[in-house]
Amino acid sequence: MDVIESWTGRTACALQAAFRDTNEGFAERLSVSVRTVAGWHSAPGIVPRLEIQQALDTVHERSPDSVRRRFSALSRPPAQTAQAQALRVAIAVVQRGDEVLLVCRRGDDNLSWQFPAGMCKPGAAVASVAVQETHAETGVHCAVREELGSRVHPKTGVLASYVLCDYLAGEATNRDTVENIDVAWVPLSTLTRFIPADRIYPPILSALEAA
């Protein structure tokens, strides 16, 4: 049986195809939202959360031999895409005095506060994407102060690049009601009440403390 060290959107979709499930049927099989399954089709490089990884492991391990054979064939990466570029997300840490800008994302089963972010297309500059996506999500205009570095995000598995920005103008409003439920300026002193300290990229905290 194939051993999947880390599921991605592509391998999850391969398992769905092996079962010959619709998005609705596969979502029900895994006890996840249909939107989550649809997201794997639109972003095949994304890495599902740990609990969904475990659900995929269980479904895969309990699948009939015929499904496993189809999955083995479907999950092999085509030669021309073996070196596919990793997904990159630009994340803007926008500071206004002693406040920082956050958005509250809609999740599958809960809400989470995060910094504004957007997907980088191949060749796009991280700083430009961070500024553009901040305005698109919140209506806030900002300017890049410095790039803080990159890491593989511990929750999403995508390559996350962080940019420290200064507020320029604009009232913070929720301009993306599909993805977000709220936008807020949060005092730096209470930031870790919204995002746990162990989930914040350390250079962010260092840069905000220095400022």
State whether 65 and 103 are in the same domain.
no
Provide the pLDDT confidence category of residue 104 given band limits of 50, 70 and 90: very high
- Give the total number of structural domains in the chain: 2
Mean pLDDT is lowest, of 8-17, 30-39, 104-113, 143-152, for: 104-113
Encoded amino acid at 38, one letter: A
Q: pTM of the full predicted structure?
A: 0.59
Give the Cα separation of 69 and 51 in Å (integer): 25
Among 32, 63, 81, the domain-final residue is 81
Give the Cα separation of 127 and 88 in Å (integer): 12
Give the Cα separation of 128 and 112 in Å (integer): 25
State whether 186 and 149 are in the same domain.
yes
**In the predicted structure, residue 94 carries a pLDDT above the cut 70:** yes
Give the Cα separation of 42 and 44 in Å (integer): 6
51, part of any domain: yes
167, part of any domain: yes
The predicted pLDDT at position 83 comes to: 37
Averaged pLDDT for residues 163-172: 96
The predicted pLDDT at position 192 comes to: 92
Averaged pLDDT for residues 12-29: 92
Among 81, 111, 136, the domain-final residue is 81
Provide the pLDDT confidence category of residue 81 given band limits of 50, 70 and 90: very low
Domain with 162 in it: 88-210
State whether 107 and 142 are in the same domain.
yes
**In the predicted structure, residue 48 carries a pLDDT above the cut 70:** yes
50, part of any domain: yes
SS3 per-residue string spanning 119-176:
EECCCCCHHHHHHHHHHHHHCCEEEEEEEEEEEECCCCCCEEEEEEEEEEECCCCCCC
State whether 60 and 104 are in the same domain.
no
State whether 200 and 102 are in the same domain.
yes
The predicted pLDDT at position 140 comes to: 96
56, part of any domain: yes
4, part of any domain: no
94, part of any domain: yes
